[in-house]
Amino acid sequence: MRVLIRTDSVFTGVEEEGIADSRSILVENGSIIKLMDNFEEDPSVDKVIDARGFFVMPGLIDLHVHLSATAGANLARSLVEKTEYGAIRAYKYAYKSLMAGFTTLRDLGSNGYQIVALKEAILDDIVKGPRVIAAGRPITETGGHADTPFSNGRVSDGEVEVRKAVREQIKQGADVIKIHVSGGGTSPHDDPSEPQFSVGEIENIVEESHSKFRKVAAHAQSNAGIRNAATAKVDTIEHALFMDDEACSLIRNNNLTIVPTMVSPLMTSKYGKDAGVPEWAVRKATEALDPHSSSVRLARKHKLKIGFGTDAGTPFNLHGNNGKEFECLVDLGGLTPEEALYSATGIAGDALGPKYRVGKIAPGYDADIIFVEGSPMDDIGVMTRPERIKQVLVRGAEMK
């Protein structure tokens, strides 16, 4: 199946290239073959898709979502419903995100394996959805960020047991390993500024995961946790709340990516109190706002790779509104609109590793492409409005 996409120009997602003055993109069996600076009728092409008049860019990647979470105020809801029910609801969330232009979602932890099942159902073409990369259950120490009945993390302690926890996730079909190396906002008895897991434990997790070709994503809010995770060479530092120059240097020297998720504490802080989110969770979210902004600004100064993530599913951080993070990165984090677009395309795709050919409109990459009405380079606010995403292609197939 050969598809030709007719364009005015293309935001490639490749940082060195920026916007290519390309008039068409040739796609064969779901993969991008080449960008061409002309458009010619070609009898060997099965279909021509006209994208003229739109801002054409790679499908968006959200490196940090929780499709099992409802974005409601009641953190303990999962205790009174079946995980199987959660799987069906997660399908709806994934589809909503897809319609908003997110063609790849990395699910960083659920209370069971329902998102692994969703991923498989999408791959088997049982339901239409984005590419899902699932972590299964997050790995956490006793009393750690996911050691709550509603998070149901895989609690493990010690260098031997953490390896077993990794192997269990892989056995259940996890594509990526999620760990918690600091406290967080939605756990009652820990503090975002404390570290969790020792460097030795994290190193064992990383070695075990990498030996089985899985990346490691570390929930790391505290400065100590960030440093421990960076020292142990995890792949992505999630949230990266309390950064300083030294942490930035460690991250840069080890060539890691940070994933800030700025929209998450903003939403909890803004709407949580009136809706009945626990007082401690609202307080921790509110206290996170300033350090989060200054940490992203510092990371940018240090030229760190900033990948796009939302933590969608946390209170009032709705699936399908993932685009709000673009505005946060620009308005609060000081990124240019162009930098924000790279964070959700080329940079995020690279962070997933070579197994996934996503995030760039370049030869050999999957033809995950979106057509946006209006230019996000001029007004990043365009990306916060799902109705501006006029077409979504996954591996060259039209989803809208």
Contact 342, 298 (CB under 8 A): no
CB of 387 to Zn ion, least distance (A): 27
Kindly state the tokens that stand for 43. 């009898």
CB of 313 to Zn ion, least distance (A): 8
How many residues make contact with Zn ion (CB under 5 A)? 1
How far apart are alpha carbons 50 and 67 in whole angstroms?
Answer: 32
Closest chain position to Zn ion (CB): 311
CB of 311 to Zn ion, least distance (A): 4
How far apart are alpha carbons 168 and 189 in whole angstroms?
Answer: 26
CB of 69 to Zn ion, least distance (A): 8
Residue 262-301 contact track with Zn ion, rule CB under 5 A, x = bound: ----------------------------------------
Which part of the chain contacts Zn ion (CB under 5 A), choosing from 129-137, 208-216, 305-313, 383-391? 305-313
Rg (CA), the chain: 20
CB of 337 to Zn ion, least distance (A): 25
Which residue number, 66 or 305, has a Cβ lying nearer to Zn ion? 66
Which part of the chain contacts Zn ion (CB under 5 A), choosing from 85-93, 99-107, 307-315, 328-336? 307-315
Which part of the chain contacts Zn ion (CB under 5 A), choosing from 153-161, 306-314, 364-372, 384-392? 306-314
Residue of 395, 309, 305, 400 whose CA lies nearest to 357: 395
Which residue number, 223 or 268, has a Cβ lying nearer to Zn ion? 268
Which residue number, 178 or 360, has a Cβ lying nearer to Zn ion? 178
How far apart are alpha carbons 386 and 324 in whole angstroms?
Answer: 10
Q: Does 107 bind Zn ion (CB under 5 A)?
A: no
CB of 319 to Zn ion, least distance (A): 13
Among 62, 203, 311, 327, binds Zn ion (CB under 5 A): 311
Which residue number, 311 or 366, has a Cβ lying nearer to Zn ion? 311
Which part of the chain contacts Zn ion (CB under 5 A), choosing from 37-45, 118-126, 311-319, 368-376? 311-319
Q: What is the 3-state secondary structure (H, E, C) of 217-283?
A: EEEECCHHHHHHHHHCCCCEEEECCCCCHHHHHHHHHCCCEEECCCHHHHHHHHHHHHHCCCHHHHH
Which residue number, 314 or 391, has a Cβ lying nearer to Zn ion? 314
Which part of the chain contacts Zn ion (CB under 5 A), choosing from 44-52, 99-107, 272-280, 308-316? 308-316
Burial of 213 (0-12, 13-18, 19+ CB in 10 A): exposed
CB of 216 to Zn ion, least distance (A): 14
CB of 108 to Zn ion, least distance (A): 5
E strands along the chain, which residues?
Answer: 2-6, 10-11, 19-20, 24-28, 31-36, 47-50, 55-58, 60-65, 102-107, 131-134, 139-140, 154-155, 176-180, 215-220, 236-239, 257-259, 305-306, 369-372, 389-394, 397-398
Q: How many CB atoms lie within 10 A of CB 366?
A: 25
Contact residues: Zn ion, CB under 5 A: 311
